[in-house]
Structure 1
Amino acid sequence: MRNGHAITLRALAALLAYPDEELRAALPEIAAALRAARGLGAQRRGELLALAEELGQGELLDAEARYVELFDRGRSTSLNLFEHVHGDGRERGSAMLELRERYQRIGLEQRGHELPDHLPVLLEYLSCCDPAETLELLGECAHVLRKLGNTLAHRGSRYAAVPAALLALAGEEGLDPHTPVPPPEDIDKSWEERPAFEPPAAAAP
C-alpha cells in the first residue's frame, strides 16, 4: 500500500513539472500509474489522464510556453505554496528553512533550482513519508491547494485536476470553480522594482 501511495504522489508531481521532452517521454508510465492509483475516484482519475494526454499533444514549445504563462507569471497560480500564504514577507524565508530541514531529516538533499515550497518538490518528499504524515501535511495545505485549484479551474486549465486529486487523497473538501478568484495579475506592475528611497521634497519657492 505504501508503494502505491508513493507512486501516485510521484505521478502527480510529474504532471506539475515543466513539460519538456523528458516529461513527454514519461507520460505513458505516468498514465499507467494513475490508472492503478487507489484512493482516486473515476472522475478524478479521468481528469488526470486528460491532463496527461493534453501534455503529450501539440508542439513542445507551445506546451512549455503555456506552462510558463500559467505558473510563472503571477502569484495566484504559483506552485510555490508559501507565496500564497506569506507573499514576499519575512515569514516565508523561515518557513522554507524549516521545510528544507524537514527534508534533510529523512536524508533528502534537494537538487535543482526550485524552492523547498514548490509543490512538485513537496510531493516528492511526501512520497517518501508514511501515509499518515502525508495526509496530515496535505490537510495543512488544503486551503492553499483549494485556492490554487479553483483559480486553475476558473481559467479552464486541466492542471486543476492535480490539486483536486490531492484534496481527494487527503479526504478534504474539493474544488468549487464558482468561487470568486482574483483576476490575473499585471505582471509588469506586480514585479516592478520600487525605488529604495523617496524622492527629495521639492524646495519651497
Structure 2
Amino acid sequence: MKWRRHRDARPGIREKDLVDTWQVVSLLLDYPDDVLLGRVPMLRGVVEGLPDAQRMPLLEFLDHLTSARLGALQREYVDTFDVTRKCSLHLTYFTSGDTRRRGVALVEFKQAYRRAGLEFDSEVELPDHLCVVLEFGAMQDWATAWHLLTRHRVGVEVLRAGLAQRDSRWLPVLEALRSTLPPLEGSDTEALLRLVEQGPPQEEVGLEPYAIDPRLNPRPEPADTTAMLGTTIPVGAPR
C-alpha cells in the first residue's frame, strides 16, 4: 500500500519550523530517561517558537513529561511501543509485518540515506525507526525524510490510531508530527481504516538480514538517536 497522492506535496510550514518540530518529536518519542527530562526547559523554549498546530500538542506532552514519575513513564513507554503491535515505531512494520517484503523496504531506507550522504549503521537501530527518520530529516536532509514519511505515511497513521485507542500520553506528539504532513483524503482514509482493522501482515520466514520484530527485542540501554546518525545538532540551532 503506497500513498502516492501526497508523495510530491510540499510542506505547508517554514523549513525551520518543520525541522525543529521533527527534532523535538524525535527526542520525545525516544525512550524517556534523565537526559530527556533534563532537556525539557530547552525543548519548551524551542516549542514556544513554533506555530500553534505544532506548539500546542507538544506543550501538552511536555506538561505530562514534567509531572510523571520517570519509572512509571518508562514502563508505560515499553508497554506502548515495544509490546503493542499497532504502536510500533518502525514504519515498514505496518505494511510489511513479519514478511519477506519488509527486508526490501528496509533496504530502500538505507539506500535513501546513502544517496543523501549517510552510511547508516543497522546494528544500532533499524533504518525505518520513526525517531531515526525524523532525526535524519532535522539534521541532514529534510527533503529525503519528507519523501520517506509521505511514502510510508500509513505507518504514521496506524501508529497514531494505536495511540488514540490507548488514550496514550504520546498521542499529542504524533499529532504534532501529523500537522507537518499533508492531510489524508478520500481513498487514503478508507485504505487506512482497512489496515487498522486487519493489522500488519504475518509471515515468519525469509526476513534476513532484517528479521527483527520490535516486539520481541529486549530493550538495551536507552539509545540516543543522534548516535545513530553519528553527529549532534542542538535543537533549534541555525542550519
TM-score by length of 2: 0.65
172 and 26 in structure 1: CA distance in 2 versus 1, 3 angstrom threshold: same
Tell me which amino acid in the other structure corresponds to 1:50: E
Partners of 1:183 and 1:94 lie apart in 2 by 22
Partners of 1:86 and 1:119 lie apart in 2 by 15
2:108 is aligned to: 98
2:179 is aligned to: 168
1:143 is aligned to: 154
1:114 is aligned to: 125
1:62 is aligned to: 72
1:5 is aligned to: 18
Conservation of the 8 A alpha-carbon contact between 2:93 and 2:155 = no
State the Cα deviation string for residues 175-202 of structure 1 (Å, max 9, x = none).
Answer: x9xx795599xxxxx979xxxxxxxxxx
State the Cα deviation string for residues 59-79 of structure 1 (Å, max 9, x = none).
Answer: 211111110010000321110
**How large is the Cα RMSD of the aligned pairs?**
2.9
**Mapping of residues 21-40 of structure 1, within 5 Å:** 21-38=34-51, 40=52
118 and 15 in structure 1: CA distance in 2 versus 1, 3 angstrom threshold: same
Higher gyration radius (CA): 1
The alpha carbon displacement at 1:135 in A equals 4.0
Is there any run of 5+ residues in structure 1 with no aligned partner, and where?
185-189, 193-205
Tell me which amino acid in the other structure corresponds to 1:36: G
Partners of 2:59 and 2:169 lie apart in 1 by 10
Give 1:87's match in structure 2, choosing from 97, 110, 116: 97
Tell me which amino acid in the other structure corresponds to 1:168: S
The alpha carbon displacement at 1:36 in A equals 1.3
TM-score by length of 1: 0.75
Partners of 1:56 and 1:20 lie apart in 2 by 12
Aligned length: 180
Is there any run of 5+ residues in structure 2 with no aligned partner, and where?
1-13, 200-212, 217-239
Higher RCO (CA < 8 A, seq sep 6+): 2
